[in-house]
Amino acid sequence: MQRFENARAAAHQLRPDDPVYCFRPDVLKQDCRRFMEMFPGKTAYAVKTNGERLVLKTLVEAGVNAFDVASPGEFEAVREVSADAEMLYMHPVKAQSHIRLALEKYGVRVIALDHEDEIAKLTRVVRALDIDPGQITVFVRIQTKGSAAYELSKKFGAGPAYAVELADRLHRTGFKVGLCFHVGSQIEDPDTYERALASADWVRNRVSFDLAGLDVGGGFPAEYGHDPRSRKPDMPSLGQIMSRLRGDLSEYGFDGMPLVAEPGRVIVARAFSLIVRVMLRKGRRLYINDGIWASLSDSWTGKITLPARFIPDPAIRTRNGDEHNIVPFKVCGATCDSVDILSRPFWLPETIDTGDWIEIGHIGAYSLSLRTRFNGFYPDTFVEVTTPFEEGGAVEGFASLETMSGP
């Protein structure tokens, strides 16, 4: 992998017409270790966030020895970088064949579920493989509702009373039983975890045995950008959330049992930026070589504000306008799909033109893992960059909080 000081140097040397991912392994290690130091339990990185081999390998080097996995593909990805890392199979709904693969080939001994049919699947596999149920910890996922950019309670989770029934049934079958929840992705309210803990406490007080552990899921927010022309969102910092979470865990008496977290965004977001090229400027529209079907699905939802940095092409000698005048541009993606338009504009110097590049920062989470091969476009070029995005010069542009209308 080629190595550059910053994205500007990479763009000027490579002059890429295809998107380029700028990977910062030192930033990834720093953010990972910071989280592990702050959380009072086991850190199981959520592979779905970014399961690239170079990411998983770097996390193992940083000291991560547990991963939240959801599929055979993720089992294999983890095992490729670590022969002994623990895998927590936390997807509540699973094929019975996948359960068998997890237990038999990959040695998985931690599983989550939220329905009695999942207990039946697991029990059949355990009996077929002659595994002692006492070797397996099953986390019953309870339904919670919080305040997050992406709310995840609509699809999974057992209601509290039903969670008690599931937990008791698992215990009678001989499994070790814990509780888990997932408050959403990119939480916006530090009270979110407290409400989930209150539900977990309600369930714990009604089961007939001691719990084997509590998994608080993910949701820990990553740092993104904000439009300086708008009021900065009142987002809690990771330190504030962790301080509050530790206090709530202690208040509810969960601090005395094994704890697990499944962070994703907060660990990997800052580790990547993306260099895109302006293929065409058409008035206040910029047509770039990436889009919602590739790395920028978060920008399609309109819920994440990504910082952007203008990288002018030095070959362009004459420009129109004032480079200090920052204006909004509607950004259109690379595919033929008319839906491939970012929901928020980018604010950039009015001098930007066809052939220039834009570096989009904090793109490490749910970008590479969600890119598709639609229309034949599939960004897959990586370089290593040594300078953190925040230290690479002033950020000229933002994916604004407002919705842009007109041409």
Beta-bridged to residue 310, according to DSSP, are: 358
Q: What is the CATH number of the domain that holds 394?
A: 2.40.37.10
Q: What is the CATH number of the domain that holds 255?
A: 3.20.20.10
Q: Indicate whether 298 and 238 sit together in one domain.
A: no
At residue 181 the predicted structure's pLDDT band, cuts being 50, 70 and 90, is very high
Q: How far is CA 66 from the centre of its chain?
A: 16
Other C-beta atoms closer than 10 Å to the C-beta of 268 total 31
d(CA 342, CA 335): 12
**What value does the mean pLDDT take over residues 224-240?**
67
Q: Indicate whether 99 and 200 sit together in one domain.
A: yes
Q: Would you state the pLDDT for residue 395? A: 59
Q: Indicate whether 275 and 303 sit together in one domain.
A: yes
Q: Which of 241, 262, 283 is the last residue of a domain?
A: 262
Res. 186: pLDDT tops 80: no
Res. 299: pLDDT tops 70: no
| Structure confidence by residue, pLDDT tens digits, 239-284 | 888 999 999 999 999 999 999 999 999 999 999 999 999 999 999 9
Alpha-carbon distances of 13 from 109, 312, 314, 383, rounded to whole Å: 48, 13, 11, 12
The secondary structure of 261-319 as a DSSP string is E---HHHHGGGEEEEEEEEEEETTEEEES--TTTT-HHHHHT----EEEEE--TT----
d(CA 365, CA 368): 7
Res. 327: pLDDT tops 50: yes
The mean pLDDT of the chain is: 90
Domain range for 360: 3-21+270-398
| Structure confidence by residue, pLDDT tens digits, 31-70 | 999 999 999 999 999 999 999 999 999 999 999 999 999 9
Q: Would you state the pLDDT for residue 159? A: 93
Structure tokens at 280: 């065409």
**104 in any annotated domain:** yes
Res. 109: pLDDT tops 80: yes
Question: 38: which DSSP letter?
Answer: H
Q: What are the φ/ψ torsions at residue 209 (nearest 5 degrees)?
A: -155, 170
At residue 405 the predicted structure's pLDDT band, cuts being 50, 70 and 90, is very low
Q: Indicate whether 159 and 299 sit together in one domain.
A: no
Q: Would you state the pLDDT for residue 222? A: 78
Of the listed ranges 41-55, 68-82, 227-241, the one predicted with least confidence: 227-241
Q: Indicate whether 109 and 152 sit together in one domain.
A: yes
Q: Indicate whether 213 and 146 sit together in one domain.
A: yes
- Dihedral of the CA atoms 162, 188, 361, 283 (nearest 10)? 110
